[in-house]
Protein backbone atom coordinates (compact mmCIF):
# COMPACT_ATOMS: atom_id res chain seq x y z
CA UNK A 1 0.00 0.00 0.00
CA UNK A 2 1.52 3.30 -1.12
CA UNK A 3 0.78 6.74 0.28
CA UNK A 4 1.58 10.14 -1.16
CA UNK A 5 1.58 13.63 0.27
CA UNK A 6 1.35 17.22 -0.95
CA UNK A 7 3.97 19.92 -1.30
CA UNK A 8 2.01 22.11 1.11
CA UNK A 9 2.20 19.57 3.95
CA UNK A 10 5.91 20.34 4.41
CA UNK A 11 5.79 24.09 3.88
CA UNK A 12 4.02 27.28 4.85
CA UNK A 13 1.85 27.39 1.74
CA UNK A 14 3.50 29.66 -0.84
CA UNK A 15 6.05 31.21 1.50
CA UNK A 16 9.69 30.67 0.45
CA UNK A 17 10.63 28.64 3.52
CA UNK A 18 11.70 25.48 1.67
CA UNK A 19 12.78 25.03 -1.92
CA UNK A 20 11.13 22.73 -4.44
CA UNK A 21 14.05 20.31 -4.29
CA UNK A 22 14.16 20.33 -0.48
CA UNK A 23 10.49 19.38 -0.26
CA UNK A 24 11.02 16.55 -2.74
CA UNK A 25 14.02 15.32 -0.78
CA UNK A 26 12.15 15.36 2.54
CA UNK A 27 9.13 13.64 0.99
CA UNK A 28 11.29 10.79 -0.30
CA UNK A 29 13.26 10.53 2.95
CA UNK A 30 10.06 10.14 4.98
CA UNK A 31 9.01 7.25 2.77
CA UNK A 32 6.23 8.54 0.53
CA UNK A 33 5.81 7.17 -2.98
CA UNK A 34 4.35 10.25 -4.64
CA UNK A 35 3.63 13.95 -4.22
CA UNK A 36 0.82 16.27 -5.25
CA UNK A 37 2.05 19.32 -7.14
CA UNK A 38 0.19 22.61 -6.84
CA UNK A 39 -0.08 24.92 -9.84
CA UNK A 40 0.56 28.52 -8.78
CA UNK A 41 0.10 30.92 -11.72
CA UNK A 42 2.65 33.72 -11.50
CA UNK A 43 4.89 31.69 -9.22
CA UNK A 44 8.48 30.58 -9.84
CA UNK A 45 9.25 28.23 -12.72
CA UNK A 46 11.35 25.13 -13.28
CA UNK A 47 13.27 24.90 -16.56
CA UNK A 48 16.69 24.11 -18.01
CA UNK A 49 18.11 27.29 -16.48
CA UNK A 50 16.59 26.74 -13.05
CA UNK A 51 15.90 23.24 -11.74
CA UNK A 52 14.98 24.50 -8.29
CA UNK A 53 12.65 27.19 -6.95
CA UNK A 54 12.41 29.02 -3.59
CA UNK A 55 8.96 27.55 -3.01
CA UNK A 56 7.55 24.17 -4.12
CA UNK A 57 4.38 25.84 -5.42
CA UNK A 58 5.41 26.63 -8.97
CA UNK A 59 3.84 27.94 -12.14
CA UNK A 60 3.43 24.67 -14.00
CA UNK A 61 2.04 26.31 -17.12
CA UNK A 62 5.25 28.31 -17.59
CA UNK A 63 7.61 25.54 -16.48
CA UNK A 64 9.27 22.88 -18.61
CA UNK A 65 7.12 19.96 -17.48
CA UNK A 66 9.56 17.35 -18.75
CA UNK A 67 12.18 18.82 -16.42
CA UNK A 68 9.68 19.08 -13.55
CA UNK A 69 8.83 15.40 -13.98
CA UNK A 70 12.50 14.40 -14.25
CA UNK A 71 13.26 16.36 -11.08
CA UNK A 72 10.47 14.64 -9.13
CA UNK A 73 11.42 11.20 -10.40
CA UNK A 74 15.11 11.80 -9.64
CA UNK A 75 14.08 11.74 -5.98
CA UNK A 76 12.40 8.37 -6.42
CA UNK A 77 8.92 9.89 -6.42
CA UNK A 78 6.03 10.10 -8.86
CA UNK A 79 3.70 13.02 -9.42
CA UNK A 80 0.52 11.92 -7.64
CA UNK A 81 -1.83 14.53 -9.08
CA UNK A 82 -2.00 18.20 -9.95
CA UNK A 83 -3.95 20.71 -7.84
CA UNK A 84 -5.20 24.21 -8.53
CA UNK A 85 -7.70 26.31 -6.60
CA UNK A 86 -9.48 27.56 -9.70
CA UNK A 87 -13.12 26.56 -9.28
CA UNK A 88 -15.70 29.31 -9.76
CA UNK A 89 -19.09 28.61 -11.33
CA UNK A 90 -21.26 31.55 -10.27
CA UNK A 91 -21.95 32.79 -13.81
CA UNK A 92 -21.32 31.85 -17.44
CA UNK A 93 -17.92 33.55 -17.59
CA UNK A 94 -16.72 31.78 -14.46
CA UNK A 95 -17.99 28.43 -15.72
CA UNK A 96 -16.16 28.90 -19.02
CA UNK A 97 -12.94 29.91 -17.25
CA UNK A 98 -13.15 26.92 -14.91
CA UNK A 99 -13.77 24.57 -17.83
CA UNK A 100 -10.77 25.95 -19.68
CA UNK A 101 -8.59 25.83 -16.58
CA UNK A 102 -9.48 22.21 -15.83
CA UNK A 103 -8.71 21.16 -19.40
CA UNK A 104 -5.35 22.92 -19.25
CA UNK A 105 -4.59 21.30 -15.90
CA UNK A 106 -5.38 17.90 -17.41
CA UNK A 107 -2.80 18.47 -20.14
CA UNK A 108 -0.22 19.42 -17.51
CA UNK A 109 -1.07 16.32 -15.49
CA UNK A 110 -0.54 14.05 -18.49
CA UNK A 111 2.85 15.62 -19.19
CA UNK A 112 3.80 14.99 -15.55
CA UNK A 113 2.82 11.33 -15.71
CA UNK A 114 -0.46 11.37 -13.82
CA UNK A 115 -4.10 11.19 -14.85
CA UNK A 116 -5.62 12.89 -11.78
CA UNK A 117 -6.65 16.55 -11.70
CA UNK A 118 -7.54 17.73 -8.20
CA UNK A 119 -9.24 21.13 -8.15
CA UNK A 120 -10.82 22.82 -5.17
CA UNK A 121 -14.58 22.37 -4.80
CA UNK A 122 -15.36 26.05 -5.16
CA UNK A 123 -17.01 28.10 -2.45
CA UNK A 124 -20.69 28.02 -1.55
CA UNK A 125 -22.27 31.30 -0.39
CA UNK A 126 -22.03 29.98 3.17
CA UNK A 127 -20.79 26.84 4.94
CA UNK A 128 -23.23 23.96 5.54
CA UNK A 129 -25.64 25.39 3.00
CA UNK A 130 -28.63 23.10 2.36
CA UNK A 131 -28.33 21.11 -0.85
CA UNK A 132 -31.54 22.54 -2.28
CA UNK A 133 -30.11 26.06 -1.99
CA UNK A 134 -26.87 25.33 -3.84
CA UNK A 135 -28.04 22.67 -6.27
CA UNK A 136 -27.56 24.96 -9.27
CA UNK A 137 -23.94 25.47 -8.29
CA UNK A 138 -23.46 21.70 -8.26
CA UNK A 139 -25.11 21.47 -11.68
CA UNK A 140 -22.78 24.17 -13.00
CA UNK A 141 -19.71 22.46 -11.53
CA UNK A 142 -20.77 19.14 -13.03
CA UNK A 143 -21.17 20.78 -16.43
CA UNK A 144 -17.78 22.52 -16.24
CA UNK A 145 -16.03 19.23 -15.43
CA UNK A 146 -17.98 17.35 -18.12
CA UNK A 147 -17.05 19.94 -20.74
CA UNK A 148 -13.41 19.96 -19.60
CA UNK A 149 -13.12 16.23 -20.22
CA UNK A 150 -13.93 16.80 -23.89
CA UNK A 151 -10.58 18.58 -24.29
CA UNK A 152 -8.65 16.45 -21.81
CA UNK A 153 -6.56 13.33 -22.37
CA UNK A 154 -8.77 10.22 -22.44
CA UNK A 155 -7.52 8.84 -19.12
CA UNK A 156 -8.08 12.05 -17.14
CA UNK A 157 -10.00 11.85 -13.88
CA UNK A 158 -11.24 14.99 -12.12
CA UNK A 159 -11.56 14.79 -8.34
CA UNK A 160 -12.65 18.02 -6.61
CA UNK A 161 -11.63 18.25 -2.96
CA UNK A 162 -14.70 17.77 -0.73
CA UNK A 163 -14.32 20.66 1.67
CA UNK A 164 -15.99 22.59 4.48
CA UNK A 165 -17.71 25.58 2.88
CA UNK A 166 -17.32 24.15 -0.61
CA UNK A 167 -19.91 23.60 -3.30
CA UNK A 168 -19.22 19.90 -2.66
CA UNK A 169 -19.21 19.56 1.11
CA UNK A 170 -21.35 16.63 2.30
CA UNK A 171 -22.19 13.06 1.36
CA UNK A 172 -25.45 14.30 -0.18
CA UNK A 173 -23.56 16.89 -2.23
CA UNK A 174 -21.29 14.15 -3.61
CA UNK A 175 -24.26 12.01 -4.56
CA UNK A 176 -25.87 14.99 -6.29
CA UNK A 177 -22.66 15.63 -8.22
CA UNK A 178 -22.67 12.02 -9.40
CA UNK A 179 -26.26 12.43 -10.58
CA UNK A 180 -25.46 15.46 -12.72
CA UNK A 181 -22.10 14.16 -13.92
CA UNK A 182 -22.70 10.50 -14.86
CA UNK A 183 -19.23 10.07 -16.37
CA UNK A 184 -17.31 8.06 -13.77
CA UNK A 185 -14.11 9.90 -14.67
CA UNK A 186 -15.67 12.72 -12.67
CA UNK A 187 -15.53 11.88 -9.00
CA UNK A 188 -14.25 13.28 -5.73
CA UNK A 189 -11.34 13.60 -3.38
CA UNK A 190 -12.80 12.11 -0.21
CA UNK A 191 -11.33 14.46 2.37
CA UNK A 192 -11.70 12.63 5.67
CA UNK A 193 -10.77 15.64 7.80
CA UNK A 194 -13.50 17.83 6.37
CA UNK A 195 -16.02 15.01 6.65
CA UNK A 196 -15.05 14.77 10.32
CA UNK A 197 -15.45 18.52 10.94
CA UNK A 198 -18.89 18.37 9.33
CA UNK A 199 -19.99 15.27 11.24
CA UNK A 200 -20.49 13.33 8.01
CA UNK A 201 -20.25 9.57 7.66
CA UNK A 202 -18.03 9.91 4.64
CA UNK A 203 -17.12 6.22 4.63
CA UNK A 204 -20.55 5.50 3.11
CA UNK A 205 -19.15 6.92 -0.14
CA UNK A 206 -16.87 3.87 -0.23
CA UNK A 207 -19.87 1.53 -0.07
CA UNK A 208 -21.84 2.70 -3.11
CA UNK A 209 -20.44 4.13 -6.35
CA UNK A 210 -17.00 3.79 -4.80
CA UNK A 211 -15.45 4.04 -8.28
CA UNK A 212 -16.14 7.77 -8.00
CA UNK A 213 -13.67 8.14 -5.13
CA UNK A 214 -10.52 8.80 -7.14
CA UNK A 215 -8.54 10.16 -4.18
CA UNK A 216 -8.72 9.60 -0.43
CA UNK A 217 -7.24 12.46 1.58
CA UNK A 218 -6.26 11.07 4.98
CA UNK A 219 -6.56 14.15 7.17
CA UNK A 220 -7.15 14.42 10.89
CA UNK A 221 -9.16 17.33 12.30
CA UNK A 222 -9.70 18.51 15.85
CA UNK A 223 -13.42 18.86 16.60
CA UNK A 224 -14.06 21.33 18.06
CA UNK A 225 -10.95 23.29 17.12
CA UNK A 226 -8.76 24.66 19.91
CA UNK A 227 -9.68 28.04 21.45
CA UNK A 228 -6.92 29.88 19.57
CA UNK A 229 -8.21 28.71 16.17
CA UNK A 230 -9.72 31.34 13.89
CA UNK A 231 -11.60 28.87 11.69
CA UNK A 232 -13.73 25.75 12.26
CA UNK A 233 -11.20 23.68 10.29
CA UNK A 234 -8.17 22.57 12.29
CA UNK A 235 -5.94 20.00 10.63
CA UNK A 236 -3.41 18.10 12.76
CA UNK A 237 -0.97 15.20 12.77
CA UNK A 238 -2.74 11.94 11.99
CA UNK A 239 -3.83 10.07 15.10
CA UNK A 240 -4.14 13.19 17.25
CA UNK A 241 -7.59 14.37 16.16
CA UNK A 242 -11.07 12.90 15.85
CA UNK A 243 -11.09 11.47 12.31
CA UNK A 244 -12.40 7.86 12.45
CA UNK A 245 -9.81 6.49 10.03
CA UNK A 246 -10.57 2.82 10.72
CA UNK A 247 -14.12 3.27 9.38
CA UNK A 248 -12.62 4.25 6.05
CA UNK A 249 -9.67 1.86 6.00
CA UNK A 250 -11.75 -1.27 6.62
CA UNK A 251 -13.95 -0.42 3.63
CA UNK A 252 -10.96 -0.35 1.29
CA UNK A 253 -9.09 -3.32 -0.19
CA UNK A 254 -5.56 -4.04 0.97
CA UNK A 255 -4.04 -2.51 -2.16
CA UNK A 256 -6.07 0.71 -1.79
CA UNK A 257 -8.40 -0.07 -4.65
CA UNK A 258 -6.42 1.52 -7.46
CA UNK A 259 -7.00 5.03 -6.17
CA UNK A 260 -4.66 7.71 -4.88
CA UNK A 261 -4.12 8.03 -1.12
CA UNK A 262 -2.69 11.27 0.25
CA UNK A 263 -1.63 12.16 3.80
CA UNK A 264 -1.66 15.90 4.51
CA UNK A 265 -2.20 18.49 7.23
CA UNK A 266 -1.96 22.25 7.71
CA UNK A 267 -2.04 23.36 11.35
CA UNK A 268 1.29 21.96 12.46
CA UNK A 269 4.17 24.38 13.19
CA UNK A 270 6.61 24.54 10.31
CA UNK A 271 9.55 23.31 12.40
CA UNK A 272 7.57 20.21 13.38
CA UNK A 273 6.02 19.34 10.02
CA UNK A 274 8.62 16.91 8.73
CA UNK A 275 8.60 14.67 11.78
CA UNK A 276 4.83 15.01 12.22
CA UNK A 277 4.40 13.89 8.63
CA UNK A 278 6.75 10.95 9.22
CA UNK A 279 4.69 9.91 12.27
CA UNK A 280 1.49 10.35 10.27
CA UNK A 281 2.73 7.95 7.60
CA UNK A 282 3.77 5.46 10.27
CA UNK A 283 0.35 5.80 11.90
CA UNK A 284 -1.39 4.97 8.61
CA UNK A 285 0.92 2.07 7.87
CA UNK A 286 0.16 0.56 11.28
CA UNK A 287 -3.57 1.15 10.87
CA UNK A 288 -3.46 -0.49 7.46
CA UNK A 289 -1.86 -3.61 8.93
CA UNK A 290 -4.49 -3.71 11.69
CA UNK A 291 -7.44 -3.34 9.31
CA UNK A 292 -6.26 -5.65 6.56
Q: Are residues 172 and 264 located together in one domain of the fold?
A: no
pLDDT in tens, 184-224: 999 999 999 999 999 999 999 999 999 999 999 999 999 99
pLDDT in tens, 6-36: 999 999 877 889 999 999 999 999 999 999 9
Q: Are residues 41 and 180 located together in one domain of the fold?
A: yes
Q: Are residues 57 and 154 located together in one domain of the fold?
A: yes
| Structural domain count of the chain | 2
> Is residue 154 over pLDDT 80?
yes
pLDDT of residue 290: 98
Question: What's the CA gap between 272 and 283, in Å, rounded?
Answer: 16
Domain boundary among 164, 184, 216: 216
Q: Are residues 62 and 147 located together in one domain of the fold?
A: yes
Domain boundary among 182, 216, 250: 216
**pTM of the model as a whole:** 0.97
CATH label of the domain that carries residue 94: 3.20.20.150
Q: Are residues 202 and 67 located together in one domain of the fold?
A: yes
Segment 54-61 shows an average pLDDT of 96
Q: Are residues 168 and 256 located together in one domain of the fold?
A: no
Q: Are residues 134 and 151 located together in one domain of the fold?
A: yes
pLDDT of residue 72: 98
Q: Are residues 236 and 149 located together in one domain of the fold?
A: no
Domain boundary among 165, 199, 216: 216
The domain in which residue 267 lies consists of 217-292
pLDDT in tens, 265-286: 999 999 999 999 999 999 999 9
pLDDT of residue 15: 81
Q: Are residues 141 and 22 located together in one domain of the fold?
A: yes
Mean model confidence pLDDT for the chain:
97
Q: Are residues 249 and 112 located together in one domain of the fold?
A: no
Q: Are residues 93 and 168 located together in one domain of the fold?
A: yes
Q: Are residues 66 and 143 located together in one domain of the fold?
A: yes
Amino acid sequence: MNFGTSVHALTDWGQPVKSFQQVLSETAEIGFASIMLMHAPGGPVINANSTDAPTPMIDLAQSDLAIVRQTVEAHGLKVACVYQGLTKVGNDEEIAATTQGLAALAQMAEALGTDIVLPNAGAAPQPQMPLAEKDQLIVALAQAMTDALQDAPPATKIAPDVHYGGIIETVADCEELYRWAPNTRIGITLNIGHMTTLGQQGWTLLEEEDERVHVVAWKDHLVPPPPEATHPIYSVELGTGQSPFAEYAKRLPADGGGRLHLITFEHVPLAEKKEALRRSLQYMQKLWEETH
